[in-house]
Structure 1
Amino acid sequence: MEHLDQLESFDALYQRACERKGKQALEAMLGKPRTDAELKALGDDRYLAEMTKKIFQSGFVWRVVEQKWPAFEELFFGFDIDKVLLVPDEMLERKAADPAIIRNFNKVKTIRDNALMIDAVRRQHGSFGQFIADWPSDNIIGLWAYLKKHGARLGGNTGPYALRFVGKDTFLLSNDVESYFRQRNIISGAVTSKGSLQKIQDCFNLLKEQSGRSYQELSRIIAFSTGDNVPTET
C-alpha cells in the first residue's frame, strides 16, 4: 500500500502534538471511548437522542441546540423507540411546529425514520448498543456507510460525530485531520470517496498497531499535530 509510505510514524505525530500542546495538556484532551460493555449497556433511546442532536446541530449553532435540548427530550418521550414509532404524521408535524424546539420539519421527521432503523437492528441483534459495540473499529468507515444507507441524514460527518459522542471508538474527518492527509498526499479529491476513506482507515489501522491507542486518541493527536492549533501551557 503506497499510501502508507506517506504516513508519518506515530512517534513523530505524537512528538509534534506534544510540542504544540504540551504532553500533559495533550493527554488531558484526548479522552477515551466507551468500552464495549458500556456501549451495550447504553439504552437504544440514547443512540436515537444523539443521532437527533447531531442532525439538528449540523449546519446550526451547537450551543442553541444544547439550550433547547430538554424540550426535545420532553416532546419526543425521552426518545423511547417504541413510543416514537407510534407517533402519527399529524402529531409529528405538530411537534415540529413547537417553538420550544428548533422548528425544522424535515429534521424532525428523521427522529421516527432513525427509530425505525434502530428497531430493525435491535430485532436482529438484541439491541442497537450490541450492534454498535460489535462493529470492529478497524472498519469504522463501514459503520459510517451503514448509518448513511439505512438511517436518515446520517451521511457526511453527522453519523461519525454521533458515534463519537455516544462513545464508539472512531476517528473523525475534521478539517485538521483531512488537511493532514492531503498535505501528505495520501488522499486527493473528495475526502468522502470510497478510495479516500479506505486509505484513511488503513492509516489509522497502522497507527493503532504502532501505538496501541484508540482511534479517538489517534484522530485528536493528528488534529493537534497539524493545522492552526495553538500550543497551550504545559
Structure 2
Amino acid sequence: MATETFVLPGDTIDTEILPSHPTLPLKLGPGLRHIPPNTITSTVAGQLCTDKRKNAVWVEFNGSRYNPMVGDLVIATVQKGDRDYHFCSLSDYTQNASLPQLSFEGATKKTKPQLNTGALVYARVTLANKHMEPELECVSSSTGKSDGLGPLTGGMLFSISLAMARRLMHPKPVEQCNLVLLDAIGEGGVPFEIAVGRNGKVWVDSKNIKTTLAIGKAIQDTDTKSLTVEDQKKLAKKIVKDS
C-alpha cells in the first residue's frame, strides 16, 4: 500500500516518511534527487508516493519529457544498427539509447534477432547518465532470461502521458489509481496483450486490428479525458460488445 504527500521543487523529504525495508535498498524514482550523504529533495511538484513493500519512493507528476532512469522498462524504436549495437529512440527530446546486439536471451553472433529500422523492443534501462547516452538490455544480467523483454511483433504502438504510463505499471490497488479499464475488458472475455513503457508508450495486441485500435484509443481517452471508473467500465463494455 502506497502513501502520498504533496511536495514542491526543492523540498527536503523527511526521513520519517521514507520506507525502511530490512533487506532492500531504498529505490528513488522520478522527481527525486539524492544529495550526499543523506539528503533527498524533490525536483518537481507533485504527490510524493512511497511503497513500503518495494522500498521505493517517487513523485507522481505529469511531466512532458521522459528522463531515463536505471531500471525503467521502456518501449524503444530501433533507428539503426551496426555490428555491435542497435541505436533506439525512446521519446522526443530524449537522447537515443544503445542496445547491445547480444543483449537478448540465447543470442549469439549467429542467432541474434534481426531488427530492422522501426522495430519495437521492450527493454530495461541499465545506464542513465546526463553525460552519456542511455543503455538498454532485453535480458536479465543475473539470470540470462528475457523475463518478458525483447522484440514486440505485431500489435500497435500508442503514445500516452508519463503519468498514465506509471498508472498502468502500478494498477493495484484500484482505489489509488482509479484504473479499471483493462481489467474490465479482460473480464469481458476479450483477449489482448499490452506492454507499457515508462517513456510514455504502450504497445497493444489483440485478435484483430479493430479491437487493437479500440483498446489503444480507450487507454488514450482514459488518460487525456480523465475518465472516471464508471466511464471506463462503460467504455470497456462497448469494446467487449463490438469485438
TM-score calculated relative to the size of structure 1: 0.28
TM-score, normalising length: structure 2? 0.28
Greater per-residue helix proportion: 1
